[in-house]
Structure 1
Amino acid sequence: MPEVKLRKRVESVEEIFHEGGPEAEKPYVRAWSLAVIENPFAGRYEPDIQPFIDDLRPLGLRMAERLIDLLGGKENVEGYGKGAIIGEAGEIEHGALWHAPGGYAMRQLLGAEASKAIVPSTKKVGGVGARLDVPVTHVMASYVRSHFDSVEVGCNDAPRAGEMALALVMTNGPRVHSRSGGLEAWEIKGEDGLR
C-alpha cells in the first residue's frame, strides 16, 4: 500500500454574527481542514486502488480531531461534510477513496449516538487553485433544513497535477437567521439518520 505523503495542511474558522438581520445569540461557526497529499495513482490507470482507503484513515482522524478542537469540543458539532479535489493527472474515482476515511473519522470521534446521518460529500478534478463547495448537513438527521449549507474550501497552490486536496468541514449549528421551515433540530427522532 502507498504511504500517505502530506505536503501541506490548510485550516480556516469562520464566525458569522448576522446576515443583515439581528445579531445571533451565538455566532455560527464553520471550520474546515484541507490536507494536500501526493496522489499515488496520478498519471496512470490503477485497477486496485481500494487499499489506499486504509492508508487514509489516520489522516481522516487527525483532521477530524483538529476540527473538533477548533469548534471547542464534540458537544458543539452539529453539522458536517467532506470533499476532495483531485489534481489533473488523477481521476474522479481517486476522490471516492476519501468517502470512508473522512466520513467515518468524523462519525467515530463524535460517537454513534451523536452522528447518525450520512456525511454529505462532493468531489471533482481541478487544477491548481481550484475551489470546492463542500455540502453540510446536520449530524443526526439529513433532513434538518436549517443546517443545509456549503463551505468553500481550497488553496492557492493546490492541488498540483499529481496531488489530492482532501477536505473535512464541521459547523456548530444552524445557519444564522434560518427560517425556511422543514424539520427542526429539536424535532429529530434520531432513528435512521434522516429525520
Structure 2
Amino acid sequence: MPDVVVRKIMTTMEEIHHEFGPAPKVPLRRVAAVAVIKNPFAGEYVADIAGFMEDLKPLGLEMAHKALALIGGDASVVEGYGKGSIVGTAGELEHGALWHAPGGYAMRELLGDAAAIVPSTKKVGAAGTRLDVPITHINASYVRSHFDAMEIGMNDAPRADELAFILVMSTGARIHARVGGLAADEITGKDGLR
C-alpha cells in the first residue's frame, strides 16, 4: 500500500460554560484532532483499497494521543467520542470509510474499556467544507444526554487530492441535558448499547 503523507495536523478545543442556564461546576470540553493527508487513490477508481487501513493505524493512534493530551491527558474524563472524514473532490466517499477502523480502534484502545462503537460520518467536499462529527457515550450508544456533535473544518482542506481524517472526544453530556432516556450512571450492559 502507499505511504501515508501528512500535510498538516490541527487540534482544537472548545470549552462550554453554559447554554443560557446556570453554569455547570465544570465546563464541558470537546476536542478534535484533524489530519490532512494525500489521498493515494484520488483521480481514479482503485478496486483494492482496504489494505490502506492498516497503514493508517499509526496515524489514528497519534491523533488519539493528541486529542487526549488536549483534553487534559486523563482518559478517565473522556465520556464521548466520534470520528469523521472529509474526502477531497478527486476522491470518492469510500476513501473516507478507510478511517473507520484506524480512527475508531485507536480511541477505544487509548481509552481502555470503551465499549460503544465510535459513531462516524463522512462526505466529499472542497477545501473549506465543514463536517458535523457525531458524538455518543463511550460505553453505551443509547445514553441520550451524550448525543452531540462537533463541527470541524479547515479553510484550506481538503484539497481535491486529499483526505481530512477527524477524531473527537468530549468530557460529558450536553450542557443542561434534560430530555430523558438512559443516563450514564444507569449503564448496565457490556455490549456498547445499554
Fold shared, TM-score > 0.5 on shorter chain: yes
Q: Distance in 1 between matches of 2:97 and 2:128?
A: 20
- Tell me the distance in 2 between the aligned counterparts of 1:132 and 1:103: 17
Secondary structure at the counterpart of residue 66 of structure 2: helix
Task: Quote the offset at 1:190 in angstroms.
Answer: 3.4
Match of 2:75 in 1: 74
Q: Does 1:50 align with 2:50?
A: yes
The amino acid that maps onto 1:133 is D
Runs of 4+ in structure 1 over 2 Å off? none
1:187 to partner: Cα distance: 0.1
The within-5 A match list for 1:173-192 is 173-192=172-191
Task: Give CA deviations for 1:168-194 in whole Å, capped at 9, x if unaligned.
Answer: 000001111010100000000132100
Aligned-partner Cα distance in 1 for 2:16–2:180: 21
What is the aligned length? 193
TM-score in terms of structure 2 length: 0.98
Paired residue type of 2:157: A
Q: CA deviation at 1:68?
A: 1.1
Partner AA of 1:78 in structure 2: E
Q: What is the CA-CA distance between 1:90 and the residue it aligns to?
A: 0.2
**TM-score (normalizing by structure 1):** 0.98
Quote how far apart the aligned CAs of 1:71 are: 1.5
User: C-alpha distance in 1, partners of 2:150/2:164?
Assistant: 15
1:145 equivalent in structure 2: 144
Superposed CA RMSD? 0.6
Kept in 2: contact 1:116–1:190 (CA 8 A): no
Unaligned ranges ≥5, structure 2? none
Amino acid at match of 1:57: K
